[in-house]
Structure 1
Amino acid sequence: MLDPKILLLGSGFVAGPTVEYILRRPENHLTIACRRIAAAEALAKQFSRAKSESIDVTNEGALDEIVSRHDLVISLIPYTNHPLVLKSAIKFGKNVVTTSYVSPAMREFHDAAIEKNLTILNEIGLDPGIDHLYAVKTINEVHEADGEIISFISYCGGLPAPECSNNPLGYKFSWSSRGVLLALRNSAKFYQDGKIVEIPGTELMSSAKPYFIYPAFAFLCYANRDSTPFKEYYNIPEAQNIVRGTLRYQGFTDFVKVLVKIGLLDDSNQNYLHFNSPEITWREVIAKVLNTSNNTEDELRKAIKSTIAENEISKDEIERILKGFKWLGLFSDKPIRRCGTLLDTLCATLEEKMQYEEGERDMVILQHKFEIKLKDGTRETWTSTLLEYGKPPGPSAMSTLVGIPCGIAVQLILDGVIKKRGVLAPYTPEIINPIIAELEKEGIKVKEEKL
């Protein structure tokens, strides 16, 4: 395609590496479009052959007009809006790339995309994305040698680097904390010993357990949403264990358990937290949720301890958590920013206290662990491990590992290397092999070991 015109919807934190990669090719021209034109302008001015426009994707006419002027669409907006983008792209015969999971609403466009000879490639960031690439790569290698995958365990964490994990949760927010906290209430479903295991959201944090990758890290792991479809997606019907999950530093899950127990992740509206209600302090809020009239710090500490069952959390850990509450200002007598719900009011506090400071770096760690049965009956453990750090003042590890795979997928579609049609995810060799080759040219390489 000569001088392709690419439309990028969204200008969030992963957009920069995507734009940088795409505009390395001198023939590419890019339009960055989002609702807030200032954000698009700020990103576009960093690059030649990039321009900015304002777009409300819920305005069908405006979306159709801008999509019709471009050759390929990248959608980095919230996944709930992807069906609007797909509808417009199919109408005008444009290929699409997203980093989001394929939702049922997106899957409905599969037949139409095939009919229009279009590639709509999704799940091509980090998680989902790079995780798929190296899972399928190893699984295919084992199957081609007549081996079996007995167990597939995969955990990924986007975290502050160890030296920057200096707060009670060992976590920092580079975007809205609301989605992070809401995910902690999701139920989980996976295969264990050939049977489906379900963990309700109320018990997810209690299910966390230590997970060893390198001696320098004290990780906890817990399952993430529904892992059971990956028996089909990854073509491992023989697998007895299939778990995909999340990594956090030690201490995270116990802290969250206490937040949940006292009700601070409640997203129902509270009159006393309405923006025009009287001023209120965190100390008064904590007293309300604990249903106590005495809001001294000592009494609040006692009330919080009383919510924790004996042997559920160690005494030393409870003391650490209470110190963390104080560090966050949850025993403070200063007026808080009222955001309507306990969850959103807590998010405002977390985002204020737990942002990355200038010069601080993030870290991404991903590991697949495969229990393999070889053709001769021998059993081995294979691992695929990715460890990446952000490079201040440059891009974060997370933005690099989401944005670069997205950019690579775009270029491979433009170059005609990826030819598969329909609403797709990177589960097949004709998609994953060329992307892996380009990732490794960027220095993004998973360490593969056989133990």
Structure 2
Amino acid sequence: MTTYTVTVVGVGLQGTAAVYDLAAQPDIARIWAVDVRDDALRALQARVPSPKVQPLLASAEDEAALRPALQSSQGLLALTPPAQRAALARWAVAYGLHYVDASYPIPEIFALAEAAAARQVALVPEVGLDPGLDLLLSQRLLVGLDAVHTWHVYGAGIPAPEAAQPPLRYKISWTWEGVLRAYRRPARLVQHGQVIEVPGDALFAPGTCTSVTVPELGPLDAYPNGDVLPYLHDAGLLNQVTHAGRFSLRWPGHCALWYPWVQAGLLREEPVLLDGHAVEPWRCLARLLEPQLHYGPHERDLALVRVEVYGWRDRRPVRRIAQVLDYRDLRTGLFAMQRTVGFTAAIVLAALVRGQIRGRGLLRPLRDVPAAVVLTALAQRGIRVHEVEMPWEPGEAS
């Protein structure tokens, strides 16, 4: 059996899940687990007590410290802040490693595409939950359609109903500061064939935030999540759909609670003076709320991705829905968000080093990553896709 060595940089929540999954793969012989925090590495070793795991205390931006891992690995998974991913992607290409991350692509990734292809390695951003699983589900649903009328993508990482205590009905299964940054990120949608720009301070506004019903959960608040246009481009659907958008979901009341906070400036980055010190309002809010938003040992989160496509197949109007709904595994303690992000990224990394994904250069999950490879592996881990197709009447989708 051929065996492989891989590197995971960043062993927080998602990195821990990725290492956990990789350690269970018989052909993954060694996993360099890299973090700048010694306590994070100790926690990882306690959670994943495998002889395969080689901890490395190093900064993601210190090439010399990372060199033992870079020289011996075939693939690298970066689960770090955006500022560190550029260097990691650059070193992956230089050392001939496949590169994976679970976030939106940074500009440097595009600049490295040609060099990666020349080195016969792949750069694969966006293989987490959202973006990631949503794109693979979309890939499945869009295949075989003659035309697309509506393409809506919904993602959620929220407490299970029994753990959704007021007033926020939200807890942390990702980076809390990352969540708050997303709460002020401008968005673009397509409505009635027109591109709609949503400013970062209007995501939760009445009329922008809508209600979406998921049968297993009931009605949820849906607010715009980022820019749909690059994904329409990847799918070959730019200027060809009537409605399209990417949305995050929260328990009802979330938008009504957060909209006045945003309007009051609590998420502003511009510092204010407090007792002679410059303080960014959003960081103050983050520090205030963060200790109150942790899950208890027996509380579950849920992770949801739901994709709805309306279109035509063989001239017949059809509505297709694909959904993944996962809950925290109380046996392992891994959150649903860890499973759907960390496992997905680990599966893609392993598939690259094994040669199951053959593309080189910059790969986009929507068009370049075989959905069946990833979704089959997730099903083996108990994370299953539910799909349905039904007729629809043109005019009912919006």
- Cα distance in 2 for partners of 1:443, 1:354 equals 27
Kindly state the Cα deviation for residue 61 of structure 1 after the two structures are TM-superposed: 3.0
Q: What is aligned with 1:22?
A: 22
Matching residue of 2:148: 149
* CA offsets 1:117-176 (integer angstroms, 9 cap, x no match): 11222211111111111101111132xxxx221110111111001111112121112344
Give the corresponding residue for 1:33. 34
Matched residues in 2 for 1:261 and 1:232: separation?
33
CA distance in 1, matches of 2:368, 2:87: 29
**Structure 2 CA distance, aligned partners of 1:128 and 1:215?**
22
The 2-side partners of 1:368 and 1:234 are apart by: 14
Within the candidate set 314, 317, 327, 1:379 is matched to 317
Greater shift, 345-354 or 61-70, is seen at 61-70
Q: Which amino acid aligns with 2:169?
A: G
Distance 1:430 1:97 in 2: 12
Distance 1:226 1:129, change over 3 A: same
Residue 262 of structure 2 is aligned with which of 257, 260, 263?
Answer: 260
Matched, 1:401 2:349: no
1:367 is the counterpart of 2:306: yes
Segment of structure 1 superposing worse, 67-76 or 425-434: 425-434
CA deviation map 1:396-432 (0-9, x unaligned): 0000000111111122112211111012121236632
3-state secondary structure, aligned to 1:58 = coil
Residue 188 to residue 382, structure 1, CA distance change in 2 (3 Å): same
The one of 417, 423, 431 aligned to 2:370: 431
> Residues 297-446 of structure 1: matches in 2 within 5 Å?
340-376=279-315, 378-392=316-330, 394-428=333-367, 431-446=370-385
Amino acid at match of 1:221: A
Aligned to 2:183: 184
Q: Distance in 1 between matches of 2:369 and 2:210?
A: 37
For residue 212 of structure 1, what is the aligned residue in structure 2? 213
Partner residue of 1:221?
222
1:136 aligned to which of 124, 135, 139: 139
Per-residue deviation at 1:349?
A: 1.7
Give the distance between the partners of 1:133 and 1:249, measured in 2 at CA.
Answer: 25
Secondary structure, counterpart of 1:14 in structure 2? helix
Query: Which secondary structure state, in structure 2, belongs to the residue aligned with residue 229 of structure 1?
Result: helix
Pairing 1:47-196 to 2, within 5 Å after superposition: 47-142=50-145, 147-196=146-195
For residues 240-259 of structure 1, what are the structure 2 equivalents within 5 Å? 240-259=242-261
Deviation at 1:219, TM superposition (A): 0.4
Give 1:216 shift. Answer: 4.2
Partner deviation per Cα, 1:181-238 (whole Å, 9 max, x = no partner): 2222222111112111111122221110111122742301111121112111122343
**CA deviation vs aligned residue, 1:83-117 (integer Å, no higher than 9, x gap):** 10121122121122211222221110000001011
1:433 deviates by 2.5
Name the residue aligned to 2:235: 234
Show structure 2 runs of 5+ residues with no match.
391-398
Are 2:98 and 2:349, in contact at CA under 8 Å, matched by a contact in 1? no
Cα separation, 1, equivalents of 2:215 and 2:256 = 22
Computing the radius of gyration from Cα coordinates, the structure with the larger value is 1
Identity across aligned pairs (percent)? 24
**Residue number in structure 2 paired with 1:335:** none
* Deviation (angstroms), 1:440: 2.0
Unaligned regions of 5+ residues in structure 1, if any? 278-338
Mapped partners of 1:165, 1:25: distance in 2: 35
- Secondary structure of the residue aligned to 1:447 is strand
1:318 corresponding residue in structure 2: none
Task: Give the TM-score normalised by structure 1.
Answer: 0.80
Match of 2:395 in 1: none
Tell me, yes or no, if structure 1 residue 5 matches structure 2 residue 8.
Answer: no
Contact kept in structure 2, 1:124 and 1:425, CA below 8 Å: no
Q: Distance in 1 between matches of 2:26 and 2:216?
A: 45
Q: Any conservation in 2 of the 1:102–1:425 contact (CA below 8 Å)? A: no
Kindly provide the amino acid, as one letter, of the partner of residue 3 in structure 1.
Answer: T
- Judged with a 3 Å threshold, the aligned counterparts in structure 2 of structure 1 residues 149 and 447 are, in CA distance, closer, same or farther, namely same
SS in 2 for 1:349: helix
